[in-house]
Amino acid sequence: MPGPPGLSATRAPGNPLLTPEDVAPSRPDFEVIGVFNPAVLVDDGETALLLRVAERPRDIPTEEVAAPVYDLAAGRIVVRRWRRGATGVRTDDPRAVIAGGETHLTSISHLRWARSRDGLQFQVEAQPALEAAGETDAFGVEDPRATRLGGEWWINYTAVSPWGIATAAAVTRDRRRLERRGIWFAPPNRDVTPFPEAIDGRYAALHRPMPEGLGAAAIWFASSADLGSWGGHRPVAGPRPGAWDGAKVGGGAPPFRVRDGWLALYHGVDAGARYAIGALLLAAREPWRVIARSREPVLAPEAPYEREGFFGNVVFTCGAAVAGDRVRVYYGAADTVVAAADLSLDAILGGLA
């Protein structure tokens, strides 16, 4: 029997590959507090990462609290400010401010390109590639995934707003210019990973609705004729109480084809809020059917940059580069930095049950 597959992960010697210090803020009054959870696009000898960059307003007096938000009337991101302790202003959760019954977030994320020839040393672009620009992403855009379909890369990302957390699509041909294509799944949804080819004539994706009240955070399957409208919803996999993925699960890297079906790296959260990465083997023609699943994580938080940060004890992947037996996973660590680790495909498959 193989040992725990988590042991076979080889972290990049340069980890973390990118930190907030490597990223210029998008405007002088903002500071970067996290760079993490990148989409991965490999083509023409280039590895492009589409980074999630989280920023917050800087130089806010300690007696105030600030929240960046896209203002529809102004047509740009503005910074709203409130005095802490004022009537109707609640700041118990440092990530949010509730004012006049409305919730705002104290940071905002955009997407930004970084590029590399060797897949390990990245140049980060100076400006955002996609940022809050409307009613349904007024609180920012997060956690992109990229899937190549024909000559296009389809990006799906999280669009956060007072309407909730939806998932939206964008497309790029040149791995530079992103064209928005609207919402794919209404709130509350996240973690959308399209498959890289049509299956029985329909495009396919995993998605992660977030039931309220009844039901747990589980991975679902959906299909589409046109990459615009989605149907054929079927549940795929839920949390396994007591296990490493006992509290929540959600898609990670877009699925890729292996001999016996589709391999989907996913994230699992345990009862202690530890985020780890495992794998699902899905049936080739019925990708909503789970053939096998990682007994233990293939990657779990161990390194200091994974255990400590804005949200510690988190490894979270949105994309991988697969070459032969090597699965190079790019991942966000502690919601603060970007890291990479090489896994053996054989070891991942050997750890399924």
Q: Closer CB to its own copies, residue 139 or residue 330?
A: 139
Phi/psi at 137 (nearest 5 deg)? -135, 30
What is the smallest separation between the CB atom of 225 and its own copies, expressed in angstroms? Answer: 6
Q: How far is the CB of 321 from its own copies (least distance, A)?
A: 30
* Structure tokens that stand for 307 in this block: 């255990």
Interface residue list for its own copies (CB under 8 A): 101, 103, 135-136, 139, 160-166, 182-189, 207, 209-216, 218, 220, 222-226, 228-235, 238, 241
Sign of the torsion formed by the C-alpha atoms of 330, 172, 280 and 45: negative
CB of 186 to its own copies, least distance (A): 4
CA–chain centroid gap for 219, Å, is 14
In the bound complex, what is the minimum distance in angstroms from residue 68's beta carbon to its own copies? 15
Determine the Cα–Cα distance for residues 97 and 84; give it in Å rounded to an integer: 9
**SS3 category, 139:** coil
Q: Minimum Å distance from CB 192 to its own copies?
A: 11
- Cis bond before residue 188 (omega within 30° of 0): yes
Pick the closest to residue 238 from 223, 222, 220 (CA basis): 220
Cβ proximity to its own copies, 58 vs 202, nearer residue: 202
Q: List the one residue out of 220, 170, 215, 163 whose CA is nearest residue 191.
A: 220
Residue 175 or 248: which CB sits closer to its own copies?
A: 248
Angle formed at CA 173 by CA 229 and CA 279, multiple of 5 degrees: 65
Q: What residues does 113 pair with on adjacent strands? A: 50
Closest CB to its own copies among residues 106, 161: 161
Comparing CB distances to its own copies, the nearer of 139 and 157 is 139
Reply yes or no: is the peptide bond before residue 2 cis, omega within 30 of 0. no
Nearer to its own copies, 53 or 206 (CB): 206
What is the distance between the alpha carbons of residues 306 and 301, in angstroms, rounded to a whole number? 5
Q: Which is nearer to its own copies, 4 or 235 (CB)?
A: 235
H-helix or E-strand spanning residue 344: strand 337-344
Q: How far apart are CA 317 and CA 117, in angstroms?
A: 21
How many angstroms separate the Cα of 70 from the Cα of each of 51, 79, 135, 187? Answer: 20, 9, 8, 18
Min dist. Cβ of residue 31 to its own copies (A): 23
Cβ distance 147 to 196 under 8 Å?
Answer: yes
- Residue closer to its own copies by CB (options 36, 185) is 185
